[in-house]
Structure 1
């Protein structure tokens, strides 16, 4: 079974580096923003028993490359020192966005696209000149720095160099399938049954992937597609994509030609080297006119659409774009004018979220609704009786505001129209051989205990709420207890939303999970790493999948789950929050432990798929 990624809370120290927050997560480890002597850096922690010699390979590659468009290594080592479990690689922190996020949000002009791709081509030229092949060129492995727009090639975790010992046991080396070259797929088909056959990726494979990146920057569309993996491979091997300048009239012909030469089906016909790509781009930029200064796509707005009509996803892809592709940040919806009689928010109350469309997951099953309604009736009756009894003593004073329970605000993550991305990310690890690959389980799994709490527990929650109201009404409660606020927002791990989409798990869906595989009861938990067990199949995620993450102790016990491991051992990132069965975010703290670092909670919960932690 693959180990979950390294999960450490902010402030943890590793080989002199103080970890601040997670930047990315992959099949072999985790990347953190860290500081050393006050300077920011990106620290990658890789599981030694998963990566083997690949950690040393990555260090060797980075140590030999010194180029402004290649991420710089700052140090490396093993940790813990006494019994090493992780390889630690410290690199410069690139304060910016992955290339795809940059393109989506900035809607660049042809000139800006040419500048960025020229940076990547220069990085590849330097690497190839030193005998290094990246083997995983794609948008996620190119960072565009915010301060000056410089692009840097990052993550050489699956890279190779001349003279290095082969670490690959499969026919094809590790990498992202959609970005493999036609010659790699041809080799796989012709050598599938040849023992010991190994495809050796070379500079031309990197150039093919660079052509795919350029095509998507120019057209906002991948050049090859199909309803399944086999159809995609066939398209890569045989079909000629629509010329970029024909698909998007704003693409200069010179850039379109550079792109199509990179997408030739054979290395012999393809652009000969990364240096030749640099020369072609420089020449094209030299001849650029004012048409290169126009954004390549139409600006995005709430009423725009790139497709029309019905049909399945493949038909929609084949027939699009019926309008020019659109990019850019979504415009903030206009706030409706205040209507006469609208009440202002109460002092201390949270302002409602603006511009967020909430698709709340419906309650499943009538018992929950019935119990909630019954609790509300009892609360109202108790409050009415108490207020009637004590009204004479409280005349002339306003009643104290007391919330019995949180108002059930929906999480922000994943509900905004535009993708939720961190403001600054760097070095997302792409050591995993298949990006966000998910394998489902087909064998039968053991039955699970009932995921719902017994009625006694539900009545305890209800009784506690009623008792709180009665006591406050009788004795006079202060305006609210001094409780620690919920944890701050956090982005999802890199690739998590895509992995959940491939599983058929929709954002905002919930599913039962267990802290302990036994009959429901109260347990003690501490702040830090945690695991839950999925109770039953959830779309294509099999039952008994282990969800890893961390617990955060506040007035409630919050859980951020970022990694899943199936019973077969397949691992992938996820983005899920822990919810109580009563419907509130976080688990209620049961009596008996008021410590800031530990709590008592019930063993049954629900996990909710989100696009970002609230």
Structure 2
């Protein structure tokens, strides 16, 4: 089932005795919050029952049997609301820290620090494998590094597997993240794509391969395999030997480079035989570490790498020359530290996938943006984007995409988030020319004043806008990956068939009108609608027509340019509003 995850709970919400403070992260099946109970902090994982199936029980079962310092601890679980449960709730140890990729980017760790974090994850896997548990989704986003002592914690066993557990999906490959699948998994898919009943069983070797990818990126700040599309990336994973980490980054100790490469052997039998053996290799390496292990693995940011705040793109000249530089991590220069205009600034471009494609997309977006802006200034009904055709039943979507190796990142479900006006309600006629915002607002005010004068109304209630709120964890990076920069705007539509519609305070979604950078048209953007004097929209999750899903941070703007949708006549309810169906969405760094 495809669709957005449940909308975010507001700060202060009470769930099974826990008080929600803020969102920590969001995935395809639910959301994780920082919550408190009796003054103590907890990580509260709220999973939508119709969507997760057995995942909640499976994660509870795995975490209950795994008690290890490098595995996030479980403290309790239940179902909510109690009378008519819609969510499974898992209360876990709160790890006050950062995701591994965010930690590495901010701290610019030394080889010694990186090896210790790597060892912590290896120890977590060793404990899991010894108990017959396979994680199946080892990646940076599922490793937390505690701020107080640098201890690594492996999290999110929701798609983990163990002997006797039933399949979570009916696809050839089990759930997982595309880029982190092992060569043997891809070989199995290629060899069995015409056999829909075939099932690949992930084992400890798959976890070790994924940890090898994590370690490579930790040591070099780069991915070991490259490809312009899923098919070429998969081909690289199957056939191409990665550049040794110590050659990619000369600050990587040779012994760590060798340990990493053994995890990335194409054949599982040639790979490091177990997580326990990996722990022993890393412990031996750390015992032999010298002073060179205490130098940061990457260069720090400096004047020769400064960009304007929010910019992270290469110039055309940089792309043409593409000089090799050691990647940079650590604290960025503030705008005040950036050299003044007219100063020559060299920017070290990071090795990334699809530089040429990104530039071509940038040119196309510039052309489309000019046309879109002209259309968006008028309140005229726009044609809706063409719907993606649904796959025929009985055929595995993964088998269909095996040749291109483009598998959906997560299963989702359809969700009804808005209600339309009844068909027998006559639509409000549109003026022949767009009405200026100031004139329309004045007309509303005069009309309201006349009615109140006649009826003796009390003073008008002005509802304040919602308070500021941070973006979901990883949203800004996810948007950048799809070519969307902070401040970018694009057209979207609340409903494909209606000119006006009624929306409720609560979960909401819009559909992307056309392709936006690398994000395809017809992508569903979901989050929360907040009904005030305007209808504010905070969109936190995107689901593409092909099933890819990721966090976003997008504000809804009216076509007149206002933040939030203007309320149309016909609904004065404090919890619902009638709005125009067309809108803009704007990429933001935080919700205002």
Matched, 1:580 2:558: yes
- Please say if 1:510 is aligned against 2:489: yes
Distance 1:302 1:519, change over 3 A: farther
Matched, 1:26 2:27: yes
CA distance in 2, matches of 1:275, 1:567: 41
Deviation (angstroms), 1:90 = 1.6
> Is the 1:2–1:571 contact (alpha carbons within 8 Å) kept by the matching residues of 2?
no
CA distance in 2, matches of 1:326, 1:565: 31
Name the residue aligned to 1:80: 81
Distance change >3 Å, CA 517–CA 133, structure 1 → 2: closer
The alpha-carbon distance between structure 1 residues 458 and 538, as it changes in their structure 2 partners (threshold 3 A), is farther
Runs of 4+ in 1 over 6 A off after TM superposition: 305-309, 335-338, 359-363, 367-371, 465-468, 566-570, 590-596
Q: 593-602 or 246-255: which moved more? A: 593-602
Conservation of the 8 A alpha-carbon contact between 1:42 and 1:93: yes
Check the 8 A contact 2:490/2:516 in 1, yes or no: yes
Q: Report the alpha carbon displacement of residue 590 of structure 1 after superposing the two structures with TM.
A: 6.4
1:216 shift after superposition: 0.9
Distance 1:76 1:194 in 2: 39
Which residue is 2:140 aligned to?
139
Matched, 1:331 2:310: no
SS of aligned partner of 2:11: coil
Q: Could you tell me whether the CA contact under 8 Å between 1:103 and 1:217 is conserved in 2? A: yes
363 and 19 in structure 1: CA distance in 2 versus 1, 3 angstrom threshold: farther
User: How many residues are aligned here?
Assistant: 505
Q: Contact (CA 8 Å) 2:26, 2:472: kept in 1 or not? A: no
Gaps of 5+ in 1: 339-358, 372-432, 439-449, 469-480
- For residue 458 of structure 1, what is the aligned residue in structure 2? 435
TM-score by length of 2: 0.75
Verify the 8 A CA contact 1:436 1:495 in the aligned structure 2: no
Corresponding position of 1:530: 508
**1:302–1:520 CA distance, 2 compared to 1 (3 A):** farther
- In the TM superposition, what are the counterparts of 1:553-592 in structure 2 within 5 Å? 553=531, 556-564=534-542, 572-588=550-566
- Counterpart in the other structure of 2:584: 606
Q: Does the alignment pair 1:210 with 2:211? A: yes
Quickly say closer, same or farther: Cα 1:437–1:256, change in 2 above 3 A.
farther
1:387-418 superposed Cα distances (whole Å, 9 cap, x missing partner):
xxxxxxxxxxxxxxxxxxxxxxxxxxxxxxxx
1:127-152 CA distance string (max 9 Å, x none)? 11111111111111100011111110
Instruction: Choose which of 530, 535, 549 in structure 1 pairs with 2:527.
Output: 549
CA shift, 1:243, in A, is 1.2
Offset at 1:512? 3.2
For normalisation by structure 1, the TM-score amounts to 0.72
CA distance in 2 between counterparts of 1:370 and 1:55 reads 47
Counterpart in the other structure of 2:58: 57
8 Å contact from structure 2 (residues 479, 485) kept in 1: no
Contact 2:99 2:144 in 1 (8 A): yes
- Work out the CA distance in 1 between the residues paired with 2:109 and 2:45: 31
The residue matched to 2:127 in structure 1 has which SS? helix
Deviates more, 1:31-40 or 1:453-462: 453-462
Q: 1:214 to 1:538 in 2, by over 3 A?
A: closer
Offset from partner CA, 1:511-570 (integer Å, 9 cap, x none): 33344556655x765543333354456567666655332233566442101234567887
Distance in 1, matches of 2:223 and 2:435, equals 51
Higher Cα Rg, which structure: 1
Q: Distance in 2 between matches of 1:101 and 1:177?
A: 20
- Equivalents in 1 of 2:202, 2:579: separation in Å? 52
Shift of 1:456: 6.1
Aligned to 2:103: 102
Q: Distance in 2 between matches of 1:188 and 1:603?
A: 42
Distance in 1 separating the partners of 2:262 and 2:85 = 47
